[in-house]
């Protein structure tokens, strides 16, 4: 009997050693970025911005929102010194690179950015475009996810699609629930804010994605100002909504676009990474656990 118990214990240990475990291995996420030169005439350069780390069952953000120069000089100590990354996109492994954290970050918008080893061949998708430049509208390559572990598959198979009329109706109802009262500039020379009683059909569906599990997400657009925040004077910033398989809608966030989706921590479920594109703000948002949770890495450009 003793031999059987010992044998079972050894077998269990061998299986656990061979089975990848998201909780047993540190997972750090970064984003391979293309950056406009810091000064006029300087060429674009590539870097990896370290953004999230898996801690137990949750994702945590690295420190991101420095408000003074002293923070920029000291916060680099909170980042890993050197990382080896697997670069991924659309469920594919695009290659590996190594990057290192500088002794300090020179700019607010450079927080978390590691310098890529000069000998590395850096993966690229498509052509440079202002579509990927965010607030600055710089003409840059599409950002790509960098994972400290070789996890890049998308088990939920997220793909762009065209929503049905029923789904479009659910999304527009969710939009109205989120923004029950909207305003627009009116009067002589647009000198005042007037109530804008919009119709559901005026809410545009900019882009939508769906998974094989029945979830969908969509970016909606309407040029108007939230009456509850009329003093800010800014148009609402293309909110995103998620719709569950049973038709329940969730407001995710505004002012962002989808970078990629994959199972970055090897737990069998896909996480969705968005790039922040807001006024004077950049960074990333990661949604996980069927959109029950999310974590934000956000910085200021000035």
Contacts of 18 (CB under 8 A, 6+ apart): none
For residue 264, CA distances in Å to 39, 261, 287 come to: 35, 8, 11
Q: Average model confidence (pLDDT) for the chain?
A: 90
Identify which of 114, 118, 122, 119 has the alpha carbon closest to the alpha carbon of residue 96. Answer: 122
82-125 residue pLDDT tens? 999 999 999 999 999 999 999 999 999 999 999 999 888 999 99
| Contact by Cβ (8 Å): 148, 85 | yes
Integer angstrom CA distances of residue 95 from 30, 86, 121, 181, 259:
14, 6, 8, 48, 18
Q: What share of the chain is helix, strand, coil (3-state, %, to 5)?
A: 20, 40, 40
- Average pLDDT (206-223) is 98
pLDDT of residue 14: 37
With pLDDT > 70 as the criterion, what percentage of the chain qualifies? 89
Residue 190 has what pLDDT? Answer: 64
pLDDT digits (tens, 9 = 90+) for 283-297: 999 999 999 999 999
Are 258 and 248 a contacting pair, CB within 8 Å?
no
Question: Sorting pLDDT into bands at 50, 70 and 90, what band is 15?
Answer: very low
Going through 233-301 in order, the beta strands assigned E by DSSP cover 240-243, 249-253, 256-262, 271-278, 281-288, 293-300
Domain ranges of the chain: 28-147, 159-262
Which pLDDT band holds residue 8 (cuts at 50, 70, 90)? very low
Q: How far apart are CA 12 and CA 18, in angstroms?
A: 10
Residue 127 to residues 124, 263, 277, Cα–Cα distance (Å):
8, 26, 19
Percent of the chain with pLDDT over 90: 79
- pTM equals 0.88
* 184 neighbors 224 (Cβ within 8 angstroms): yes
Between CA 57 and CA 267 the distance in angstroms is 10
> For residue 208, how many other CB atoms are within 10 A of its CB?
21
């Amino acid at each position: 009997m003793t031999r059987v118990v010992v044998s079972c214990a050894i077998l269990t240990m061998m299986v656990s050693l061979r089975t990848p475990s998201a909780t047993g291995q540190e997972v750090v996420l970064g984003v391979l970025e293309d950056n406009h030169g810091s000064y006029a005439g300087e060429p674009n350069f590539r870097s990896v911005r370290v953004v999230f780390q898996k801690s137990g069952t949750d994702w945590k953000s690295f420190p991101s929102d420095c408000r003074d120069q002293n923070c920029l000089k000291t916060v680099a100590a909170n980042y890993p010194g050197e990382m080896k990354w697997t670069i991924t996109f659309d469920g594919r492994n695009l290659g590996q690179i190594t990057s290192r954290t500088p002794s300090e970050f020179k700019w607010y918008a450079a927080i978390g950015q590691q310098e890529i080893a000069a000998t590395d061949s850096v993966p690229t998708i498509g052509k440079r475009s202002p579509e990927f430049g965010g607030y600055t509208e710089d003409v840059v390559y599409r950002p790509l996810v960098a994972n400290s572990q070789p996890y890049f598959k998308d088990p939920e198979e997220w793909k762009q699609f065209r929503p049905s009329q029923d789904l479009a109706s659910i999304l527009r109802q969710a939009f109205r629930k989120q923004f029950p009262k909207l305003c627009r500039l009116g009067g002589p020379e647009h000198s005042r804010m007037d109530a804008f009683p919009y119709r559901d059909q005026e809410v545009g569906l900019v882009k939508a994605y769906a998974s094989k599990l029945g979830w969908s997400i969509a970016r909606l657009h309407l040029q108007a100002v939230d009456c509850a925040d009329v003093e800010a004077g800014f148009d609402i910033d293309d909110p995103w909504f998620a719709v569950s398989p049973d038709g329940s809608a969730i407001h995710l966030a505004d002012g962002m676009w989808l970078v990629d989706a994959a199972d970055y921590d090897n737990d069998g479920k896909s996480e969705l990474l968005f790039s922040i594109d807001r006024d004077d703000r950049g960074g990333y948002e990661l949604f996980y656990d069927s959109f029950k949770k999310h974590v934000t890495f956000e910085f200021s450009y000035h």
